[in-house]
Structure 1
Amino acid sequence: MVNSFVVLRDIIENNALTLNDLLSKFEFPAIQELSNSNLIEESKGVVSVTEEGLAKMKPFKVDNAIIMAAGMGSRFVPYSYYIPKGLIEVNDVPLVERQIIQFRDAGIENIYIIVGYMGKQFEYLAKKYDVKIIQNLDFATKNNISSLYYANKEGILGNSYLTPSDIYIEDNVFHQYEYHSWYATKYFEGKVSEWGIECDDTGLINNVSKSAVNQEAMYGTAFLSKSFTKVLAEKIVDLYEDESFSQWYWEDVYIKFMNELRLYSNLSAGESVLEFECYEELREFDTSYCKNARNPLLDIICKELDCSLSDIHGITPLKVGMTNDSFKFTVKDADYVFRVAGEGTDVLIDRYAEAKSYEAIQHLNISDEIIYFDPKKGIKIAKYIKNAKQFTEEDIEVMIGTIRKLHESDIEVEHKFDVNERIEYYFNLCESNEAKYYPGLLDHYDKIREIRDYVDANHNELCFCHIDPIVLNFVWSDDKHHLLDWEYSAISDPYLDLAMIVLFSYLPVNETDELLRLYLEEEPNEYQNALLYAYCSLVGVLWALWTQYKETRGETYGTYGIDQFKWSELYYDEFVKVTKVG
């Protein structure tokens, strides 16, 4: 049937073929068999498919195309900060538009785009191409298994093409009819991070590995038959609420249930697929990007480092922080880090104050070396610290010594960090954005009023503080240590720095007492313990409210916010024990 299917499909898609045209493509016996079975006929020199032939092909008719565009494309920095990867232009056409055009050229009318990250930017496509937009509400917490989940909820899974929005397909590989489920595959030399496959003699995939080594690998687009998507959808629904599967791709589900899901390799389709993993690959393929980056951050690099776009190499996203994004890059053999202000941080952080802090600490020589700082946009370029190694809890004495040195430095700046004022400010942000509070948080917010009054009346002498001296912000470089990320730094109570360490590391009370002893270099008294406990409780509420506000903007931080709240309750109880307040 496969040979007959291909001949029938070719005749349908090319409706003016002559017998000679067919003979130039296919063996005569295959054509003769179709004619003898009354599946094709010739009239006035043109071969066409009969009604009986069309009925034979009906089960193989493609129902729709589903384009997955919900992902963040985080590897494709710095473009992904401003635009979904699927909307990046290649040869003057956005990647997703090229796919839509190819589907339409193949006769696929029903096209769905599943969006999530920056989803509104795709909305123009509905009017321009008459496609339907489907929202993936779980894109931030789940992998592309969630896009198939929402496709199933919409009832659109059938004989469906399934393709990511961010691939470039050179030659159109789509058709009105498909015989069986397939995945585009490509042969790779060496080891690559693609799904490596093994097939039987018919092309049926019978083994999949997490990487490919000198072999074919799954690459890009796929066609899934109605029987395939029915089983796949059932499995996804069964697994969906289990958090252990949240970071699965739909391909993981296929692999888990391969014995029930038959998928074939399509090597010819894979040869037409290109995927750009980074700006340099895009620039190599579309040379217009050598002159016009279409990205403001790359333009800033060229201006501030006096270089051309072709001088920029090795762009790599760094581990995403809770407040900002950053990427590493190389220009003329020197490495740098570009910090980009996170979404919504304009209402959380005073970048002009941050700039003043960097100026104030410059003589201490403990921070990263700033090359460029734009306080209006919250972006900065710094020298990359080579051979950097993260601090661990074992380096606590060095951390405390560094913080003590900072507190004794007599640095003066005009801006202050008043924890009570910040708590009130974050609470008002939550209120104005209709935050859904953790159970008990509002009651606890009212209860800590006495602690807020206590620190106002009993705080230490104020000094310049880092405000976020957590273990992740300390790094070793050879024999020297650095303290990074000074965006919250200001004049404040030195105990606030200690409380930040406690709450980030979730230190129990006995370790908090030891931390204070290290800082004071003597045994603390009850008054000193009580004040630190008070700040620990306030810091927990501060970051819980900070998280609640960020969650109103669609960001997720797992259990961080509620954990901060719970630790705040713990240190409130400790404060009450010592002071007999409450």
Structure 2
Amino acid sequence: MRGSLEYKEFKILSTLEASDSPMTQREIAAAVGFSVGTVNKVVSELVERNLIDEAALTSRGLEELEPYRVKRAVLVAAGFGTRLVPITLNTPKPLIRVHGRRIIDSLLDAVYAAGIEEVYVVRGYLAEQFDQLLYQYPNIRFIENPQYNEANNISSALAAKDLLENAYVLESDLLLSNPKLVSKYQYDSNYLGVPVEVTDDWCFETKRGVITNLTVGGVDCHHMFGISYWTAEDGKKLSRDIVATYEMPGGKERYWDEVALRYFSEHYTVRIRECSFDDIAEIDTFRELQEIDAAYVS
């Protein structure tokens, strides 16, 4: 059950909750992207309702945020990582070390820092190697994807289809530089994206902050990154729609993101959550890995 907060109220309350100290209204405005006038109006209303007191959250304010708390995280880590051969011949891509640290660690650290304790890793290729994560993250639960070698990543979504309510879904080959992108609270279903003038990569077309199309290559769009959040309502619908997509002709060849953004888009309103290329990176090729970490240059 979702809470009763308006979006602007949620943004201000969740921003104050994440802050280590009281914030001025100008600081709040800069953090949430609203005008100072809008922040002044909303803050006044929140003070009247005893959700804020002296620029800090009250216990009642925390109670109002609770329905928006993220319940779990599902990390998709089953694939082969073909474009990173030869290094992935012996190591799954998420376990590759960049500057001495596994790629997946940047995501797991952010998830746990956000207070999300229910964490799943969907594994397939060289599955047993993921057991090493248990030494640092003993509470991880593994989900086996036996179809990883004969289907696209929709098979991982299928394996985790009943765990997508109030959940982040994260592609485990993303190198996260800004852990705050994984926050404790989320308001609506969304994907991370970087605004770009042009790209030949996977991207989102948007209108008024809502994703209207998923495509390869675009102009005045958002470069796609595979970190999404799904509300309880949308997660429940995904459980059904993933199965329907998988069972379509050619369904095994689909990317899981196409379920809500292409084949059953009428069932969802998915918003864009903007970030920058400084916040997150995807290492697609061995050459890109070498450019980031000189240890791989022979």
Specify the TM-score bucket, using the shorter chain as the normaliser.
0.7 to 0.9
Within 5 A, what are the aligned runs for 1:198-237? 198-201=205-208, 203-213=209-219, 215-237=221-243
Structure 2 residue matching 1:139: 3-state secondary structure: coil
- Identical columns (%): 27
1:452-476 deviation per Cα after TM superposition (whole angstroms, max 9, x unaligned): xxxxxxxxxxxxxxxxxxxxxxxxx
Partner of 2:36: none
Distance 1:128 1:243, change over 3 A: farther
- Could you tell me which amino acid in structure 1 is paired with residue 100 of structure 2? D
TM-score, L = length of structure 1: 0.46
CA distance in 2 between counterparts of 1:209 and 1:182 reads 16
Q: In the alignment, is the contact (CA less than 8 A) between 1:159 and 1:224 conserved in 2?
A: yes
Residue 264 (structure 2) pairs with residue 264 (structure 1) = no
Query: For this pair of structures, how many residues does the alignment match?
Result: 281
1:97-120 deviation per Cα after TM superposition (whole angstroms, max 9, x unaligned): 111111112222221110001111
Q: In the alignment, is the contact (CA less than 8 A) between 1:126 and 1:133 conserved in 2?
A: no
- Could you tell me which amino acid in structure 1 is paired with residue 52 of structure 2? I
Q: In the alignment, is the contact (CA less than 8 A) between 1:70 and 1:147 conserved in 2?
A: yes
Q: In the alignment, is the contact (CA less than 8 A) between 2:206 and 2:221 conserved in 1?
A: no
Q: Offset at 1:30? A: 2.1
Q: Offset at 1:239? A: 3.5
CA distance in 1 between counterparts of 2:79 and 2:141 reads 18
Cα RMSD over matched residues? 2.0
Partner of 1:97: 105
Q: Offset at 1:125? A: 1.4
CA distance in 1 between counterparts of 2:71 and 2:128 reads 26
Q: In the alignment, is the contact (CA less than 8 A) between 1:161 and 1:222 conserved in 2?
A: yes
Answer with 1 or 2: which has the greater Rg.
1
CA distance in 1 between counterparts of 2:232 and 2:216 reads 26
Partner of 2:204: 197
Within 5 A, what are the aligned runs for 1:481-520? none
1:476-506 deviation per Cα after TM superposition (whole angstroms, max 9, x unaligned): xxxxxxxxxxxxxxxxxxxxxxxxxxxxxxx
Distance 1:34 1:125, change over 3 A: same
Distance 1:288 1:127, change over 3 A: closer
Residue 171 (structure 2) pairs with residue 164 (structure 1) = yes
1:185-213 deviation per Cα after TM superposition (whole angstroms, max 9, x unaligned): 1244554131x322122x01122323334
Contiguous gaps of at least 5 residues in structure 2: 1-5, 30-38
Residue 56 (structure 2) pairs with residue 47 (structure 1) = yes
Contiguous gaps of at least 5 residues in structure 1: 291-308, 310-582
Within 5 A, what are the aligned runs for 1:54-65? 54-65=62-73
Partner of 1:180: 188
Give the number of the structure with larger relative contact order, counting CA–CA contacts within 8 Å between residues 6 or more apart: 2
TM-score, L = length of structure 2: 0.87
CA distance in 1 between counterparts of 2:112 and 2:250 reads 38
Higher helix share: 1
Residue 140 (structure 2) pairs with residue 135 (structure 1) = no
Q: In the alignment, is the contact (CA less than 8 A) between 1:126 and 1:132 conserved in 2?
A: no
Higher strand share: 2
1:292-348 deviation per Cα after TM superposition (whole angstroms, max 9, x unaligned): xxxxxxxxxxxxxxxxx2xxxxxxxxxxxxxxxxxxxxxxxxxxxxxxxxxxxxxxx
1:115-160 deviation per Cα after TM superposition (whole angstroms, max 9, x unaligned): 00111110121342121111112111111111111112xx322111
Structure 1 residue matching 2:105: 3-state secondary structure: helix
Q: In the alignment, is the contact (CA less than 8 A) between 1:136 and 1:146 conserved in 2?
A: yes
Structure 2 residue matching 1:274: 3-state secondary structure: strand
Partner of 1:253: 259
Q: In the alignment, is the contact (CA less than 8 A) between 2:158 and 2:243 conserved in 1?
A: yes
Q: In the alignment, is the contact (CA less than 8 A) between 1:184 and 1:269 conserved in 2?
A: no
